[in-house]
Amino acid sequence: MLDRFTSMAAFVAAADAGSFAAAAIKLHMSPQMVAKHIVFLEDRLGARLLNRTTRRQSLTELGRRNYDQGKVVLAEAATADGLLNEAKTTPRGRLRITASCRWSRASFAPTRRWRSTSI
């Protein structure tokens, strides 16, 4: 069974590019695999999304609606991935350093904001 998300991406890429071959280059897969993903999506939905001939392809009415929604879903997924990747690459938390007094005095010159004050 094929992945619905990848099938949606293949369909949107094929609609944008105008051919399975161009979509395949963009997605780093074979044109046959792009075709399989689109057939999987059409079978799952029970409707034809693309009118295909040997020379050109065009979206059906249902294909146009699915394309519009697919672009929104893929954009939202890309945004979510970007937020997660950003959160993973930003350092968070407390950093504790253990060092000898001599090394720490030489490496970390005491400043007013680092000194602890006692009441």
What is the rounded CA–CA span in Å between residue 44 and residue 1? 11
Q: For the segment 13-71, what is each residue's pLDDT rounded down to a tens digit?
A: 999 999 999 999 999 999 999 999 999 999 999 999 999 888 889 999 999 999 999 99
The answer to whether 49 and 66 have CB atoms below 8 angstroms apart is: yes
Q: For the segment 56-71, what is each residue's pLDDT rounded down to a tens digit?
A: 899 999 999 999 999 9
What is the rounded CA–CA span in Å between residue 89 and residue 81? 12
Q: For the segment 59-115, what is each residue's pLDDT rounded down to a tens digit?
A: 999 999 999 999 999 999 999 988 888 777 777 788 887 878 777 777 766 655 555
Domains and CATH numbers, the chain: 4-89 (1.10.10.10)
The answer to whether 26 and 14 have CB atoms below 8 angstroms apart is: no
pLDDT, position 7 = 96
- Tell if the pTM clears 0.85, that is, is over it: no
